[in-house]
Amino acid sequence: MPHTRRRSFLRNFLATEAAGGIILMAVAALALIVANSPLGEAYFHTLHLYVGGLSLLHWVNDGLMALFFLLVGLEIKREVLDGQLSSWPRRALPGIAAVGGMVVPALIFVAINWRAEGTRQGWAIPSATDIAFALGVLALLGPRVPGSLKVFLTALAIIDDLGAVVIIALFYTASLNIWMLNGAFVVLVVLSIMNRRGVTFLPAYLGLGAVLWVLTYLSGVHATLAGVALAFTIPLRRRGGHDHDHTPLHRLEHGLHPWVTYLIVPIFGFANAGVSLAGMSLDKLADPVTLGVTLGLFVGKQIGVFAFAALAIKADWAELPANANWRHLYGVALLCGIGFTMSLFIGGLAYANAPNLLDETKIGVLLGSILSAIFGAILLRTTKPEH
């Protein structure tokens, strides 16, 4: 019965993420159209309207995206304790592939930007994979793609997200306010004690989570990380150790998932994908940031993911996903170059005070993601499943 429940949950998760990815593609296209239409001036003006001391863009990126990171944290915790990453053999292939998919793109970006002034801090931008966008492409391919590849891509992207969270915490934190950071730590300790004592009242966790977000924001650590920290304290098992569909973590994840997939991420995409192409020329595509992000995603991701996965398989640390062959694996490695949501998010942190570099980042993310989606889809579309 638990096995059936987990398969059912995974099937629902994949379907929701895939639908969300298709919506995200449409929203990104809409943002580009609006930003380069007569509505462009109103679009950029609205994003920079101030409400409660922060711009609307700031509220989207720091406030709404905290809920996205809360969902990411819940997914990581569930998969590690109770899902596709619950044992070392299951973690081996997506884990090793994810490492390659983070390291190689970063190296390519740094190599291209080594001599550029003030751009190297964007090294982590091409290291991320957008799970919704990638699964959306797989959904468009239908039954030609083995289900095991979707599970592999999901597990890889979740580990990738965890890596991005660590990178944001370590490398994109502003100057720290120790008092506020200590306050956030105290709230986190209280949440952990509640978990250990078997408290399952979700509003109590969410109320303290809101306090944690405020203290984290005021501490200088990026506020969205409060979402991940809160997620790790949400109980996955009920008192007595029995896992069940109605545990706090499952209920919160089920409740958040449609809101994040169909509303929050599309709003983020619409607010961040818009870039004016006025005055754009082919020369601009050769700018170090644009080129570094584009090649990092399109070239670095496919090389890193495939090479590290192949190494793990050849060394007998892991096996090819069921009913899949090497072409399938390479096709998925290509799709890992779709870095939309998290790449744009990290780009906003890296170049918060450099609008011109942020525009170059957006163009690079869009180009790298589109190329990865097109070539990955073509390769998978022309590859027959193994039987």
Query: The tokens of 142 are what?
Result: 């239908």
Query: The tokens of 241 are what?
Result: 């150790």
Q: DSSP secondary-structure letter at 245?
A: T
Residue 19 belongs to what H/E stretch? helix 2-35
pLDDT reading at 324 higher than 50: yes
Is residue 42 one of the residues assigned to a domain? no
Q: CA nearest 25: which of 96, 159, 130? A: 130
Asked if 158 and 81 count as a contact pair (C-beta separation under 8 A), the reply is: no
Is residue 80 one of the residues assigned to a domain? yes
Per-residue confidence band for 238, with pLDDT thresholds at 50, 70 and 90: low
The CATH number of residue 261's host domain is 1.20.1530.10
Query: Which residue type, as a one-letter code, is found at position 245?
Result: D
Pairing of strands 50-51, 54-55: antiparallel
Q: CB within 8 A of 33, min separation 6: which ones?
A: none
Digit-coded pLDDT (tens) for 214-229: 999 898 888 888 998 9
Per-residue confidence band for 240, with pLDDT thresholds at 50, 70 and 90: low
Is residue 268 one of the residues assigned to a domain? yes
Is residue 20 one of the residues assigned to a domain? no
pLDDT reading at 98 higher than 60: yes
Query: Which residue type, as a one-letter code, is found at position 74?
Result: L
Residue 194: CA atoms inside 13 Å, Cβ hemisphere, count?
A: 24
Round to whole Å and give the CA distance between 154 and 6.
14
Asked if 32 and 273 count as a contact pair (C-beta separation under 8 A), the reply is: yes
Digit-coded pLDDT (tens) for 164-205: 888 888 888 767 889 999 999 999 999 999 999 989 999 999
For the chain, give me the number of helices (H) and strands (E)? Answer: 17, 2
Is residue 4 one of the residues assigned to a domain? no
| Three-state SS at 324 | coil
The CA dihedral of 281, 285, 287, 290, to the nearest 10 degrees, is 130
Q: Domain total for the chain? A: 1
Average pLDDT, the chain: 86
pTM for the complete prediction?
0.81
Is residue 335 one of the residues assigned to a domain? yes
Q: Which domain holds residue 141?
A: 52-382
Is residue 34 one of the residues assigned to a domain? no
What pLDDT sits at residue 1?
42
| Beta strand ranges found along the chain (DSSP E) | 50-51, 54-55
Asked if 343 and 293 count as a contact pair (C-beta separation under 8 A), the reply is: yes
Is residue 208 one of the residues assigned to a domain? yes
Annotate 178-226 with DSSP letters as a single string: HHHHHHHHHHHHHHHHHHHTT---HHHHHHHHHHHHHHHHHHTS-TTHH
